[in-house]
Chains A and B, each alone.
Chain A
Amino acid sequence: MGDYVIETNQLTKLYVGNKGCQDITIQVPKGNVYGFLGPNGAGKSTFVRTLLGLIKSTSGTGTILGHPISSLESRKKVGYLPELFRYPDWMTGRQLLQFHSEMCQLNSKQQKVRIEELLDLVGLHNRGDERISGYSKGMQQRIGIACALVSDPEVIFLDEPTSALDPIGRKEVRELIRDLQMKGKTIFLNSHLLSEVETICNHVAIINKGRLIVQGDWRELSSIETQVEITLSGIENLSFGSMSEMVLDSEKIRTEKSKESWRLTLKEEESIPELISALTAQQGKLYQLVRQTQNLEDIFMYWINRQEEAEHVANR
């Protein structure tokens, strides 16, 4: 199994009209929160459902915890909260958890302990004996999360886990995900909510139009461009045109008295000291230089645009 709990090699599921997901190769490191990002309809849920054996792959291979995705073993230590979750609404929350414990072959003693733990964990301890049909959407999502955790899984697939929750509920789920990670669990988080992924994920994969665009450590992905914000004075008619080998893009943000603030996109990290030298050589007074960290939205758009540009060029 190595260090990766989920590995796929060109995993493909294509529907009529070539929709679905294509040639997805990913490695999910153990003990991480892995964000699987993409716009609606990008193929995220199709990929997860293929991994879980709910739909058959068209081609490619994949393993979960070292077992091929089509095998029952691959699902033994896996929990899953589907995106469009629906549970038998004639059941009570407790009955639902009991049913899933039976499916996971927990004995009756283990079932009792686990069900109480989980109802406590998702804040439904006093509502466990109510029918699911009487639950609010948020409560249904909580019982869904409890259900996903019944077998004390090593890998947990959460497909849009906070979509029906209010801000407090979202915060609680984020905390729950962090707690699970602390316990060594691997969480595969499917989401189109960038802020959510940005807050809790260590690793991110971006998918668009069924194809994987990029994956990797979030910190590494965030350094796709070196961007700095500088505040300086003392240079008249400041222009970065003469520094085109190190400054790729420049944008004036504001002017306060004699001070000008600029946001600069540099060629590489090494361009920062070169930029400082060039500015001081022009007698500029540098008041501030702040390296900008790109948020996930920037990264997401950067990669999406890059793919679309590449497709545009290829189609010309």
Chain B
Amino acid sequence: MWPIARLTIKEIIYKRVFLVIFLMSLALLIFYGIGTYYAQGQVANMNRGPMGALAQGFMSTQFYGMGLYFAAFITSLLAIFSSVGSISKEIESRQIDPMMARPISRASFVMGRFVGLSILMVSYSAFLFLGITAVNQFLGNQLKVVVSMSQILQAGSLFVLQSIIIVAVALFFSTRWSTLNSGIVLIMLYVTSMLGGFIEQLGGITEIKQMLNFGIVTSLLFPVDTIFRTMTISLFESADDPISMATQGIFGSASAPSTGMLIYIGLYGVVALLFAIRSFQKRDL
């Protein structure tokens, strides 16, 4: 398993994909930092009226939540694009033949890919999460969201979990379909999940059951958005807060996922990985 994991990491590093992404992400953080810095100056002026405290709360969580939402979006896309071809592309190009003619099991190969990609994605998403958090904490002033270290750790863990789940699902698709098909299906799933997340939040506020149910179905189908919403709850301590939508905007969460849903998310990732192994074991190369 480890030679495959090392190969996966080396491949992305040697191809300089990660370096380019790292530099682009750094640029994104700089822009986000500049935006936050100037915005907090304006918020300081707004803070004098009677609605000032509410407006400040709204702006701070909105800014932080927005930063995290788009960081999660970029991380998810990176997880999709780096994983969907990690097995199918090898099969299509026949590069896999000399590897699988070695005394290495198919389960080890999939696990090696999973571990390698997960290490990369965890590193990258942790970097982005901490970058956005650092901007908010050190440049935010009026926009600073008060969070404890344990909240950061909990939210950070959930943030990186999104990409791990995506990697597991992408590997499963990659063992069954071509790179293009896997990529399209996964992006559609991701977009459905995002859309379901927004609709569920609106449903929570308007108390429209059908909208809530739609969100639940999309969460069951692909629970990445639910992980993000859980992360915002742990970060903003806003679970089931009736005014959370008002304070967090559309990037926050109005209703907290149940414990059952959290267990489901964990099982979802494990089952996706087991399916990937099973599917790869059964197929012809």
Q: Which of B2, B98, B102, B104 is the one whose CB lies under 8 Å from A82?
A: B98
Interface size (A, Cβ < 8 Å)?
A: 32
Q: Taking CB as reference atom, which chain B residue is nearest A81?
A: B98
Q: Which of B3, B95, B101 is the one whose CB lies under 8 Å from A88?
A: B95
- Segment among A23-31, A97-105, A230-238 that sits at the interface with chain B: A97-105
A99 contacts B7, CB within 8 Å?
yes
Question: Per-residue CB proximity of A39-52 to B under 8 Å, as 1/0?
Answer: 00000000001001
8 Å CB interface, A64-107 against B: 72-73, 75-76, 78, 80-82, 84-88, 90-91, 99-100, 102-105
A187 within 8 A of B: no
Q: Taking CB as reference atom, which chain B residue is nearest A51?
A: B101
B102 contacts A100, CB within 8 Å?
yes
Residues of the B chain whose Cβ atoms lie less than 8 Å from the Cβ of A54: 97, 100-101, 284-285
> Separation in Å of the A199 CB from the closest CB of chain B?
26
A-side interface mostly: loop
B99 within 8 A of A: yes
8 Å CB interface, A266-289 against B: none
B105 within 8 A of A: yes
A104 contacts B103, CB within 8 Å?
yes
Give A91 to B11 CA distance when docked, in angstroms: 8
> Separation in Å of the B95 CB from the closest CB of chain A?
5
A53 within 8 A of B: yes
A306 within 8 A of B: no
Give A151 to B284 CA distance when docked, in angstroms: 25
Residues of the B chain whose Cβ atoms lie less than 8 Å from the Cβ of A91: 14
Residues of the B chain whose Cβ atoms lie less than 8 Å from the Cβ of A81: 98
B15 contacts A90, CB within 8 Å?
yes
Give A264 to B70 CA distance when docked, in angstroms: 85
Q: Taking CB as reference atom, which chain B residue is nearest A103?
A: B102
B93 within 8 A of A: yes
A80 contacts B98, CB within 8 Å?
yes
Give A148 to B284 CA distance when docked, in angstroms: 21
B104 contacts A72, CB within 8 Å?
yes
Residues of the B chain whose Cβ atoms lie less than 8 Å from the Cβ of A206: none
Question: Per-residue CB proximity of B11-28 to A under 8 Å, as 1/0?
Answer: 100110000000000000
Residues of the A chain whose Cβ atoms lie less than 8 Å from the Cβ of B101: 52-54, 75, 78, 80, 82, 157
Give B contacts to A, CB under 8 Å.
2-3, 6-7, 11, 14-15, 93-95, 97-105, 282, 284-285
A sample of 18 more A-B contacts (CB under 8 A), given A90-B14, A103-B103, is: A49-B97, A49-B285, A52-B100, A54-B101, A54-B285, A75-B103, A76-B103, A80-B101, A81-B98, A85-B94, A85-B97, A99-B7, A100-B98, A100-B102, A103-B3, A103-B104, A105-B103, A157-B101
